[in-house]
Structure 1
Amino acid sequence: MSTQSCPRVLALSGGVGGAKLAHGLYSILPDWQLQIVVNTGDDFEHLGLHISPDIDTLLYTLSGLANPATGWGRDGEQWLCMEALSQLGEADWFQLGDRDLAMHLSRSHRLRQGSTLTQITQYQAERLSIQARITPMSDDPVPTRVHTDAGQLDFQHYFVKERCLPQVHALEYTGADAAQPAPAALAALQEETLEAVIICPSNPYLSIAPILALPGFREALRNTRAPVIAVSPLVNRKAIKGPTDKIMRELSIQVSSASIANHYADCLDGLVIDYSEQTLAHTLPLPTLVTNTLMQNNDDRCQLAHACLNFASELKQAKNQNRAFS
């Protein structure tokens, strides 16, 4: 096997929050020792283009091209094409910058030529000199539908056009039961060389749940020899970015890292929570690391990545001992 096919660390990620920790891991791990499985439930077609927001956020973040103010999109962006499209009466609620358009044009063209989303994503990562494997969760479409008091909405319609304002009643990962998980992700989970699986602090219900809904993926997490740890996206019982806490309240889920632990309970070996929720640590039914999870700069990202890997190393020793005695 090539070094690219045997990662030491496998991360599951959505958009901005997950990309920050993924960037921290990427910064401290040797080349090609990180593989990131990315949510594609947010993918949709807009103006004839295939848009993969979470994949793009990871590509831009790991390549140093991301807009530091927003965490998504490209730095130094211009909007001349969108201005012209708006003048022509085309939909302008989902903003695509001039440089960002190149990514969507490339992806859409290659999909029409017969390449898979996995092949395209790895090609684009290599063109951007990214030495990590970025793997879409599936090459099959698994669009997230949001059931709200305004009706059933496509995810981007809810998230961007409606600005997350409608009340959420349920989430649906359409087609997940018939989709094929990324073979490279399942293969990585079976590798004896894998040292850690890290569920990044992305929205558990919008970004990570679609991945876990794919056939066999959750079981593969339960069966992997590597410790599986999750980083709670909550700081002081609030989401740093996005509607995680809002959705939890609307789905009658307690806004607490304890709920995050429960969400992943059957496949989790450890949980990482912020200092602001440290009083929960002794109440949780699994090993818990309390540390700073607020990633305000690159140093914070690297420090959290180091903390996660050290925690995983401790859990791996315990997991191996338990296997030896079982």
Structure 2
Amino acid sequence: MKVVLLAGGVGGARFTRGLRDLGRAEDLGLDLTVVVNTGDDLWLDALRVCPDLDTVMYTLGGVIGEQGWGRADESSRVTAELHAYGLGWDWFTLGDLDLGTHLARTELLRSGLPLSAVTARLCERWRPGATLLPMSDDEVETWVEVEADGDVTTIHFEEWWVRHRAALPARRFVQRGVAGARPAPGVLEAVAEADLVLLPPSNPVVSIGTILGVPGIRDAVRGAAAPVVGVSPIIGGAPVRGMADACLTAIGVETAARTVAEHYGARSAGGMLDGWLVDDTDAADVHAIREAGIEARALPLLMSDQAATAAIARAALDLGRELAASRTRR
């Protein structure tokens, strides 16, 4: 079974790990391709840093840090030295082991390899059990227009997210380079050949939304022969992790499982979704989501441990199979 996931960082990585492990434990024959957001990427200290790609790679490779990003058993001596020279961002620490990845990526990029080929090269070491594809080989960066002390300015997404913890109200998100970007090799083909397309519990605005902003990807998902099933990143009116509520507020979407489903829209009405999983606390929204043309199921969605994550992954697979079977019967 070929499964394509559109993923951001921590939530997408953890869900993918749970799905991969479920497939291995039950011998489901899952062939996973993860299309990863690169809108958070940036140049820092002369290195190309790809936060979401690295989070997915490290998580699937078993070396993710306890905080959900960076490497386990990390130190930060090099970053401390750079800060002592007045370089870098003093609120943004790259660990020494993590810097090794950024150095390798930058050297390979400067040798002429595209990001997709570089990612494949890096994954040879970690053997993630899935094919990781950047959404595009072209540089796309998310910037945030904010108002501070009466002035309007634009800052990189990582500064807004990490330094300010999204506390500065965002006026809008600016996706630099996205209009001219092309899907990375293999992205459109993977979606076209998929048996199931999944939207894990990643940020719907600046993670999955950025992937869908690359010309051609949204149309590919809308036109996919496979069912498209999403997992809500919102439980009981609050993000599972991070500050997705601040992102949703910036685009005028209420922070709720139902409104995020409506934001993606039903494929039957030109949107993205055939199915949507919500948490038990949002079970009252199932009827409204179905009325909007999206089949919905309610179950516990907190990825608290391996068993809980496996149950969510299984529910997504089951819903996808049900939707595929219903298409066949028509």
- Sort the TM-score into its range (normalised by shorter chain): over 0.9
For these two proteins, the number of residue pairs brought into alignment is 313
User: 2:44 aligned to 46, 51, 57, which one?
Assistant: 46
SS at match of 2:205: helix
Deviation at 1:166, TM superposition (A): 0.8
* Distance across 2 between alignment mates of 1:276 and 1:149: 35
User: 2:310 aligned to 302, 311, 314, which one?
Assistant: 302
User: 1:130 aligned to 125, 128, 131, which one?
Assistant: 128
Deviation at 1:252, TM superposition (A): 2.9
* Distance across 2 between alignment mates of 1:135 and 1:200: 16
* Distance across 2 between alignment mates of 1:21 and 1:239: 15
User: 1:35 aligned to 8, 33, 37, which one?
Assistant: 33
Counterpart residue number, 2:182 = 180
Deviation at 1:313, TM superposition (A): 0.5
Counterpart residue number, 1:23 = 17
Counterpart residue number, 2:78 = 81
* CA deviation map 1:266-309 (0-9, x unaligned): 12101111111111001112100111111012222212111111
* CA deviation map 1:28-55 (0-9, x unaligned): 2357710000000000000000000000
Counterpart residue number, 1:107 = 105
* CA deviation map 1:57-98 (0-9, x unaligned): 001100110113x11111111111122222222223211011
Deviation at 1:250, TM superposition (A): 4.0
* CA deviation map 1:141-163 (0-9, x unaligned): 11112111132111112112222
Bigger drift between 229-238 and 298-307 goes to 298-307
**1:269 partner amino acid:** D
SS at match of 2:172: strand
Counterpart residue number, 2:155 = 153
Dislocated runs of 4+, deviation >3 Å? none
* Distance across 1 between alignment mates of 2:296 and 2:2: 22
* Distance across 2 between alignment mates of 1:319 and 1:48: 50
Counterpart residue number, 2:268 = none
Within 5 Å, give how 1:146-225 maps onto structure 2: 146-150=144-148, 151-191=153-193, 194-225=194-225
**1:40 partner amino acid:** T
Q: Are 2:272 and 1:267 aligned?
A: yes
* CA deviation map 1:214-247 (0-9, x unaligned): 1111111111111001111001110121111122
* Distance across 2 between alignment mates of 1:189 and 1:137: 12
* Distance across 2 between alignment mates of 1:255 and 1:88: 42
Deviation at 1:172, TM superposition (A): 2.0
Q: Are 2:59 and 1:61 aligned?
A: yes
* Distance across 2 between alignment mates of 1:132 and 1:32: 9
* Distance across 2 between alignment mates of 1:34 and 1:175: 28
**1:171 partner amino acid:** F
* RMSD over equivalenced CA pairs, Å: 1.4
* Distance across 2 between alignment mates of 1:128 and 1:248: 34
Query: 8 Å contact 1:32–1:133 — kept in the other structure?
Result: no
* Distance across 1 between alignment mates of 2:251 and 2:189: 34
Runs of 5+ consecutive residues of structure 1 not aligned to the other structure = 1-6
TM-score (ref. length: structure 1)? 0.92
